[in-house]
Structure 1
Amino acid sequence: MSWKAIDALDDARDATASLLLPFDAERWARLAFIAFFVGGFGSGGGGGAGNTGTSVPSGTGDVPVDSLPEFVTPENVFIATVGLLAVIVLLVLGFFFVGSVMQFVLVDGVVSKDIRIRKPFRERLGLGLRVFVFKAGLVLAVVLVLTLPVLALLFGGTPVGGLVLVVIPLIFLAIPVLLLLSAVLQLTTDFVVPTMIAEDRYVLSSVRRVLSVFRSELAEFGLYVVVRLFLGFAASIAVGIAALLLLFVAAIPFVIVGGGLAIAFSAAGVPLFSLAGGVVFGIIGVLFLLTTFAVSALVQMPVVTFFRYYSLFLLGSVDESLDLVSSFRTDDDSPAPEGPTPA
């Protein structure tokens, strides 16, 4: 018995090679930019706040109120904290919204092999917004289901012992629920998005359409989930190792420049933690952070491209009306035809 979920792997590999080779710097750069939003790669930078040299009484560990600037009040600190959290939330939501639109941009690109960003982004903005709202609604619903019982008991004055009895079962319930949510979000990206493109449907209509295909080919999609899970795990490890190695190499010039500047500052008698030092080393830090993003996106780009082709080939093989990659299929298993080069 031939499994379409297995056969699609070879088709995806050939299509990925056909798109990425021969090497085209502009095409790779555009795909890497899309992959940064689509692949879910985030680079986190952490660092402890250094001591500025302000003396703190050793007895109580409290900073005297008189030593604080007048504008540092509990109210202002609260407002600043809320404002910072609001900015972070808006940035995160903006990132995921752009990522939802980029899912359509990626499908358009790998299908046409003409990788563009601005034009398809404008054209797919509405569909991306609908997918973003749909996914956000699913996440919000799950969060409410898991947290509302705790919040109800908390505001109802339930003692700590009673809360523990509720929280522990919820933790065990949250694990499978969150895994199921992750799978649903991934399947939405893999199959609902191309269905919206193939048949010009909106989200809920595409979900119903995909569910009907799932029911008719349950074994194929079950195998797809298993294969994608294991390949995704292996690819994550490989991408992580490759990214770390490249970042190690990329960090060398930053270390050399930073070390040279530190020596120059010391020779000039300028403290490293002065305003000038903060600006200079802050710029170096930002440049390295951008380099980290770029390297991560570039390394994961072939993986993102492969998995997008994988889902497209499987979807097209189980339902011809949803086949966006029919032009890639060849009876003699010859390489997929070359598409137009990017303008």
Structure 2
Amino acid sequence: MYATKDLSDAIDVTRAFLAGASFWTWIKLAVIVFFVGGVMSGTPPTPGGGGGEFGGEPTPGTGTDPGAAVGFGEMLPVLIGIAAIGLAIYLVFAFIGSLLEFALLESLRSGEVHVRRYTKRNLELGVRLFGFRLALILIALVVFGVPAYALYTTMEPNSAAFLGAIALLAIPVFLVYAVVNRFTTVFVAPTMLQEDLGVVAAWKRFRRTLAANWKEYLVYLLLVWIVQLGLAFALGIVFFIGFIILAIPLILIAFIPIIGILIVFLAIPFLLLLSSLVQVPVVVYLRYYALLVLGDTDAELDLVPDQRARVRGDVTTESGESDGWDSNGDHPDDGWDSDDDRPDDRPADEDGDDGTDSWSGPDHWDSSDEGDSGKDTDSPDSTDRWDDSDTDRDDDRSGW
């Protein structure tokens, strides 16, 4: 099956993508992974139970504090403020993550990492994906919350029966949400990019592929959850060892007045960046795995046909001629040797780029973002989907 074969092919594609990546390419990937690689999940709020009957006023007596209600009332605005700040931070992260999903897909397809260029090119798709994700979360909350509240009003909140009923309700809702959210991210978003569709239209397009190859995608789900569990365990060990190594010096430094606190504060973004760097190969591998499965089950939705052909030794073009790549994924005329070492005398291109993946321009992201020189020549379609005279996508696209 493709779902099993692509596990090993994804390793080869990931190795080829990251082997020649420069330091700044890894940094840009780490920034993308910071927003799209992490899992920001929350559980619906559970109603709390107190002493006495539901809806009754607390009766002062032994073991009760008559001022407790007043204290909670005073803290309520603070709690609401904290919740509002947390929600705002989540929405900002979710919005940026939705935009960078397409920057990651474009980078995996082209083999070049450009954050600003790819984000700007697919801004509308990112906004649509963000709206769909919010709608999906709200639907899951309603599907879980309404029956959960009904159970709360008809059963004893602290009873084992109530907890068991909540668990039986939460598990299927969470599984459906997790599957739909994953498929939207790793299969529907590539379909949006490949076919230039909205989220709902892309889901309709992908649904045909899913229905025709449901066994492949079922095996994919099982395998990817097993692989993620193993990778999460391995990363957990790495992070634990790193925490032990770095925590003791930071704790000692924190005791230094003012300077110690400042150093610890500045160390936080460094640790977040380091954590994202460690996760880069994992995220790239999992995304390539999904793209390979998608392309194997539907050639029209294949974002990485060149990468697939190189790792499998199929290096012929549609005309039957060789594309110049050997079976190891190396091109004999591109100035690279088999060890991916760049020649020192490699000439610069028209944009002044020396062939490396480092940033260019004053903003260190993509100074070549504009104009013809910023076109993506490694993508299947070398022309920019947005020209200067047409900044809007087709109006007949349905969905989000």
TM-score clears 0.5: yes
Evaluate the alpha carbon distance shift between residue 41 and residue 135 of structure 1 in structure 2; reply closer, same or farther with a 3 A threshold.
closer
Look up the match of 1:88.
86
| Mapped contact 2:16–2:329 kept (Cα < 8 A) | yes
227-236 or 324-333, which moves further after superposition?
324-333
Shift of 1:249: 3.2
**Match for 1:323 among 277, 302, 306?**
302
Question: Cα distance 1:232–1:127, how it changes in 2: closer, same or farther (>3 A)?
Answer: same
Shift of the 336–221 alpha-carbon distance from structure 1 to 2, 3 Å rule, reads farther
Residue 279 of structure 2 is aligned to residue 283 of structure 1: no
From the superposition, tell whether residues 245 and 161 of structure 1 become closer, same or farther in structure 2 (CA, over 3 Å).
closer
Hey, what does 2:372 align to over in structure 1? none
Separation (CA, whole Å) in 2 of partners of 1:41 and 1:326: 29
Q: If the length of structure 1 is used for normalisation, what is the TM-score?
A: 0.77
1:335 aligned residue: 328
Return the match for 1:118 from 116, 119, 125: 116
Identity %: 31
The 8 Å contact of residues 196 and 202 in structure 1, kept in 2 or not, is answered as yes
Q: Is the 8 A contact 1:18 1:335 kept in 2?
A: no
1:115–1:242 Cα change, 3 Å: same
Q: What is aligned with 1:53?
A: none
Distance 1:170 1:81 in 2: 25
User: Can you give the 5+ residue segments of structure 1 that lack an aligned partner in the other structure?
Assistant: 43-59, 65-72, 262-276
Residue number among 101, 104, 108 corresponding to 1:103 in the alignment? 101
- 1:327 is paired with a residue of what secondary structure? helix
Listed one character per residue, the Cα deviations across residues 181-203 of structure 1 (whole Å, up to 9, x for unaligned) are: 11211111110010001111110
Match of 1:238 among 234, 238, 244: 234
Query: How far apart in 2 are the matches of 1:153 and 1:114?
Result: 52
- Give the alignment of 1:1-343 within 5 angstroms: 3-40=1-38, 77-151=75-149, 160=156, 168-251=164-247, 253-259=249-255, 261=256, 277=257, 279-328=258-307, 329-330=309-310, 332=313, 334-336=327-329, 341-342=356-357, 343=359
- Do the aligned partners of 2:6 and 2:293 also contact (CA within 8 Å) in 1? yes
Please give the root-mean-square deviation of Cα atoms over the aligned residues, in Å: 3.0
CA gap 1:337/1:15 in 2 versus in 1, 3 angstroms? farther
Alignment: residue pair count: 297
CA contact (8 A) 2:156 2:162 kept: no
Shift of 1:40: 1.1
Distance apart, 1:113 and its partner CA? 1.2
Q: Does the 8 Å contact 2:3/2:219 carry over to 1?
A: yes
Bigger RCO (CA 8 Å, 6+ sep) = 1
Distance apart, 1:251 and its partner CA: 3.8
Bigger proportion of residues as helix: 1
Contact map agreement 2:100 2:119 (CA 8 A) in 1: yes
For residue 201 of structure 1, give the secondary structure of its aligned residue in structure 2. coil
Alpha-carbon distance, 1:130 to partner: 1.3
Q: Write the distance in 2 (CA, Å) between the matches of 1:307 and 1:146.
A: 29
The unaligned stretches of length 5 or more in structure 2 are 41-62, 315-326, 335-354, 360-400
TM-score (norm 2): 0.67
With over 3 angstroms needed to count, the CA separation of the structure-2 counterparts of 1:177 and 1:335, relative to structure 1, is: farther
Q: By how many angstroms is 1:7 displaced?
A: 2.0
